[in-house]
Structure 1
Amino acid sequence: MTPRHLAGRLVLSGVALVLTACGAPAATDTTDAAEAAARPSGGTAYPAQVTNCGRKVRVDKAPERIVSFFPSNTELLLRLGLKDRIAGQTWTNQSPPGPAYAADYRKVKVLAPGEIGREALLAARPDFILADGEYQFDGKKLPTIAELARLGVPVYIDSAFCPRTAGTATLAATTTDLTALGTLLDVQPAARRAAAGTREQLSAVDKALTGRPAVTAAMVQIVDEQLYALAGGLYSDIVRRAGGRDVLDDAVPKGSTFAPLSVEALAKKNPDVLIYHYTGAADRAASEKWLRTHLAATAAVGGGRLVAVPAADFSELRAVDGTVTLAKSLHPDAF
């Protein structure tokens, strides 16, 4: 992603380009059959283990105190029926909850509205962490992933944002995570139902868009008056599945999913639609004003085709929901 919460990651690093966002194809994050065999009852046989971002993630029993990093991860856990097993969440300031999850989402304890520190995280007594990326576990503000594993706290990273393969992620990563988390958290039936639901959603989009020409589009985010291109990996796959052609595919370094972008470079691309991420109402208003001011001559602004999307709409199950919503914005007459 941008990262999904680019502003937060810039604060953590101080330098945008060293924050290589994560992205991984589904093929690299597979459940280890030997470690995750199902009992006749259909539950998980523990200990259970999966491969995630090139590491083994092992749990000895079903986690009971899960900490979620990022709103879309919290919603994923809620979708899997785990509201009573979530010990807390962080980065809640990065996106409002989706309407379907809002009531339960607001009941989950907020450990930190943004970045969380070591003491606050460990005080929550987590026995499992579902995180949006590796970048926070640097051994400074937070323990490393290896240190947490030694403390008995396994960390699972959204497979679309594993650092070594950021530029190749697709929406298939959502199914990868559902399969892995279904095993680790002993919620396989719910995970299978969720995966089936995502396939149905995307199939309906594919059917609606059959034969329609792609709309040129650019996905961006504005942080501290700096414009960033969001492209490659999951971002470009979402734009493509939504019936768009991402004009910024060549604007980010290979293997990454974001980069600073000049106004002049974007204006030269002149997309028909501008898709911009926001974290809250104030950020949405400020971002739209910025785009209308600085890119007034583009086809997107001239045609009134600015599409605002919550940052969380581009990870996990919300990436699928976000694809559906974006498709309806790019091709409103197809639905």
Structure 2
Amino acid sequence: MIRFKFNLPILAFIAVIALSGCGSSGGPAPETTAPANSASNSAGSSNTASPASAYPVSIENCGRTLTFDAAPESIVSLWQAPTEMMLALGLDDRITAVAGNYAAYPNSIAKAAEALPVIGNSMSWPSKEVLLSQAPDLVVGQSLEGFAFDTSQGYASVEQIEEGGSQVYGSNLCSSADALNMTIETPYRTLRDFGMIFGVSERAEEFITQMEEKKQKVIDAVKDLPVQKVAFYNGGDGPLIVLAGGIYDDAIAKAGGQNVFPADSVYISKEDFAASNADVILIGTFEGQDFATLSDYITTNFPNLPAVKDGRLVEIPVADTDASISVMRGLTEIANGIHSDLNLEVPAS
């Protein structure tokens, strides 16, 4: 088998970069809701934090101990997933700037997100000078290696940020090696850490409980159904981009499927895709991609695949599979796509 591999830190983000020039048109934006006491109902609710007597608190993060004498008052978030989690926990009044977003924010937090100052964009983070000028108490990123902290691109390193007096938190993963170990439960750790850091642990646990309930509904619904062979296509026409490993494999497995491609796959030749024998093809779309165009490509070029013969091509908004607050929505969408008669209610989540 010919496989094209990356040492990939964040699979979905690499796919965004790879597809940024493809010229396709957008799919539907994800829709989520949050607990009753989350950002949609408690914007500016800093009074929900624990009293000063609860501090200091310490957490372990990426091989470091971070200690907080009080809840941070000013945060710069360099990645959308932790931004979403902080908004869902009602912490929008603490976020002084974000680097941009790579998808529409879930409906439950979209209003709060509109007010966030942006100092970068989805493909470029703030420069070292811009970031340090914010003088935040806390900088939040996803992966503390490269990307937003790549000094060769003019960004501040973790060490430089810390020297400026800010603490740095790595959400979901710490290095590129962690990407293949991500699961749909990965956001729980970040939510719990934010609960500790900001004194809103009860709210974080409530949110996690809701996510667990949504996950269990899917697991219970598919437990006696036949396992289906699944390809997760994300664009490209030679080689093809596929989503595999980490959170994608975990979601597919929990939804009653098996990814036909190895966990370290990113680019797959047309010959190998044709030989995959996939029963179902999930077509992941980012904003700016058109499901009809992508599905027409698959149907035209791979007519002999079981999934094509049976008409089992299903759109999945890739943002719904991110390690964030919408991941159980994505899990449900995947389960419905893998099992055509399932028809689970997709959570607003």
Query: What TM-score range do you get, normalising by the shorter chain?
Result: 0.7 to 0.9
What pairs up with 1:1-335 in 2 under 5 angstroms? 2-7=10-15, 45-92=54-101, 94-114=102-122, 115-118=124-127, 119-134=129-144, 135-136=146-147, 137-141=149-153, 142-160=155-173, 162-222=175-235, 226-248=239-261, 250=262, 252=264, 258-282=265-289, 284=291, 286-313=293-320, 314-334=322-342, 335=344
- 1:5/1:311 contact within 8 Å kept: no
Is the partner of 2:152 in helix, strand or coil? coil
For residues 63 and 241 of structure 2, the distance between their equivalents in structure 1, rounded to whole angstroms, comes to 28
Is the alpha carbon distance of 1:120 and 1:287 closer, same or farther for their aligned partners in structure 2, counting shifts above 3 Å?
Answer: farther
Is the alpha carbon distance of 1:323 and 1:295 closer, same or farther for their aligned partners in structure 2, counting shifts above 3 Å?
Answer: same
Decide which moves more: 310-319 or 281-290.
Answer: 281-290
Is the partner of 1:222 in helix, strand or coil? coil
For residues 170 and 44 of structure 1, the distance between their equivalents in structure 2, rounded to whole angstroms, comes to 35
Deviation at 1:130, TM superposition (A): 2.5
For residues 110 and 304 of structure 1, the distance between their equivalents in structure 2, rounded to whole angstroms, comes to 42
Is the partner of 1:174 in helix, strand or coil? helix
Aligned-partner residue type, residue 140 of structure 2: L
Is the alpha carbon distance of 1:312 and 1:199 closer, same or farther for their aligned partners in structure 2, counting shifts above 3 Å?
Answer: same
Per-residue CA distance 1:264-306 (angstroms, 9 max, x = gap): 1122112122223332144555544443444343222333322
Deviation at 1:10, TM superposition (A): 6.1
Aligned-partner residue type, residue 141 of structure 2: A
For residues 264 and 174 of structure 1, the distance between their equivalents in structure 2, rounded to whole angstroms, comes to 36
Per-residue CA distance 1:186-234 (angstroms, 9 max, x = gap): 2211111111111111111111112111221122323696522322222
Is the partner of 1:317 in helix, strand or coil? coil
Decide which moves more: 300-309 or 177-186.
Answer: 300-309
For residues 122 and 7 of structure 1, the distance between their equivalents in structure 2, rounded to whole angstroms, comes to 29
How many equivalent residue pairs?
299
For residues 209 and 283 of structure 1, the distance between their equivalents in structure 2, rounded to whole angstroms, comes to 29
Per-residue CA distance 1:48-106 (angstroms, 9 max, x = gap): 332223333343421222222333322211111112112222342x2222222222222
For residues 325 and 161 of structure 1, the distance between their equivalents in structure 2, rounded to whole angstroms, comes to 28
For residues 126 and 96 of structure 1, the distance between their equivalents in structure 2, rounded to whole angstroms, comes to 25
Aligned-partner residue type, residue 120 of structure 2: A
Is the alpha carbon distance of 1:164 and 1:332 closer, same or farther for their aligned partners in structure 2, counting shifts above 3 Å?
Answer: same
Identical positions, percent: 28
Please list every run of at least 4 consecutive aligned residues from structure 1 whose deviation after the TM superposition is greater than 4 angstroms: 7-11, 41-44, 223-226, 283-286
> Can you give the 5+ residue segments of structure 1 that lack an aligned partner in the other structure?
12-40, 253-257
Decide which moves more: 180-189 or 163-172.
Answer: 163-172
Larger radius of gyration: 2
Is the alpha carbon distance of 1:188 and 1:226 closer, same or farther for their aligned partners in structure 2, counting shifts above 3 Å?
Answer: same
- 1:216/1:245 contact within 8 Å kept: yes
Report the aligned-residue RMSD: 2.7
